[in-house]
């Protein structure tokens, strides 16, 4: 049984990752920035006969991360898997050349600085064999064509991919693995109902990695349990 913390997991892909991991018997902590939504997600898990703990944390707020880290330390001695799932698409994210700069700043704060700060804060509870999984996007790919949608979001995922690679180098001496996941275009509040993948499909690779899929791999980008180009 692993202790697994998923940020932004009161709904969507994050909740589905939590559900699947809890179903497999892992100790799951769902995390989000709104207490009422966290409570609702926990009830949904309980109603399905699954157990989970909750951790209130806004990944865009350094003080909230510090507070959540202290609370985590009082609840659990070790973190086996951290899944950085929390992310946003800011309304009116349409063009880098024309948008207000605050759109990019807000997006990077949550989607890049957030995962980095959460990772740095929780490293003290990780051990050799612990791992970090960053939920990225095909929009962050430097090899695929630019799609022309939500460019600030896409730039943030490119930056998250770079953070993943550099952290993999930094943490290799501690035997802590870190990889990024492209879940595909998934039917969620963010992805919309026109998306071509279910939340179960979007969660699958992260759950596979959490269960020691690709156990000897670090610093890579995965989709459908396969390594893909950055």
Give the model's confidence band at 90: pLDDT under 50 very low, under 70 low, under 90 confident, else very high.
very high
- 3-class DSSP assignment, residue 213: coil
Average pLDDT over residues 3-26: 97
pLDDT higher than 80, residue 99: yes
Work out the percent of the chain whose per-residue pLDDT is above 70.
Answer: 95
Question: Considering only CA atoms, which of 110, 108, 82, 88 is closest in space to residue 17?
Answer: 82
Average pLDDT over residues 190-203: 76
Quick check: 22 and 203 in contact, CB under 8 A? no
Cα dist. 68→54, 65, 119, 155, 181 in Å?
Answer: 10, 5, 12, 27, 24
pLDDT higher than 80, residue 191: no
What integer pLDDT is reported at residue 208 of this predicted model?
A: 98
d(CA 230, CA 42): 35
Instruction: Annotate 188-203 with b (16+ C-beta within 10 A) or e (fewer).
Output: bebbeeebebebebbb
What integer pLDDT is reported at residue 179 of this predicted model?
A: 98
Give the model's confidence band at 189: pLDDT under 50 very low, under 70 low, under 90 confident, else very high.
low
pLDDT higher than 80, residue 188: no
* CATH T-level fold of 3-227: Rossmann fold (3.40.50)
d(CA 44, CA 64): 25
Residue 193 corresponds to which tokens in the numbers above? Answer: 């109902």
Residue 122's Cα: distance from chain center in Å? Answer: 14
Give the model's confidence band at 92: pLDDT under 50 very low, under 70 low, under 90 confident, else very high.
very high
> Which is higher by pLDDT, 216 or 219?
219
Average pLDDT over residues 94-121: 96
Tens-digit pLDDT profile for residues 140-153 = 999 988 878 899 99
Q: Could you state, in order of their start, the residue ranges of all structural domains in the chain?
A: 3-227
pLDDT higher than 80, residue 192: no
Average pLDDT over residues 37-66: 97
What integer pLDDT is reported at residue 27 of this predicted model?
A: 98
Instruction: Tell the burial category of 78 from Cβ atoms under 10 Å away from its Cβ (0-12, 13-18, 19+).
Output: exposed
Average pLDDT over residues 88-92: 95
What integer pLDDT is reported at residue 134 of this predicted model?
A: 98
What integer pLDDT is reported at residue 39 of this predicted model?
A: 97
d(CA 179, CA 176): 10
Work out the percent of the chain whose per-residue pLDDT is above 90.
Answer: 88
What integer pLDDT is reported at residue 198 of this predicted model?
A: 87
The rounded mean pLDDT for the chain is 94
What integer pLDDT is reported at residue 186 of this predicted model?
A: 66
């Amino acid at each position: 049984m692993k202790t697994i913390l998923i940020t932004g997991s009161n709904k969507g892909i994050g909740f589905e990752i939590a559900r699947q991991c809890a179903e497999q018997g892992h100790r799951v902590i769902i995390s989000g920035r709104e207490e009422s939504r966290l409570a609702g997600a926990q009830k949904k898990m309980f109603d399905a006969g699954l157990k989970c703990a909750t951790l209130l944390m806004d990944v865009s707020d350094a003080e909230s991360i510090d507070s959540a880290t202290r609370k985590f330390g009082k609840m659990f001695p070790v973190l086996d898997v951290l899944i950085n799932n929390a992310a946003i698409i800011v309304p009116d994210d349409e063009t880098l050349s024309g948008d207000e700069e605050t759109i990019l700043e807000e997006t990077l704060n949550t989607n890049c600085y957030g995962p980095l700060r959460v990772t740095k804060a929780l490293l003290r509870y990780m051990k050799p064999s612990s791992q970090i999984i960053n939920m990225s996007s095909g929009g962050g790919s430097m090899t695929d064509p630019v799609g022309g949608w939500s460019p600030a979001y896409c730039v943030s995922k490119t930056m998250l991919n770079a953070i993943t690679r550099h952290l993999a180098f930094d943490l290799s001496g501690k035997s802590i693995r870190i990889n990024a996941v492209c879940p595909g275009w998934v039917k969620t509040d963010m992805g919309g109902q026109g998306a071509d993948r279910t939340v179960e499909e979007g969660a699958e690779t992260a759950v596979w990695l959490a269960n020691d899929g690709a156990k000897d791999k670090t610093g890579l980008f995965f989709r459908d349990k396969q390594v893909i180009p950055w």
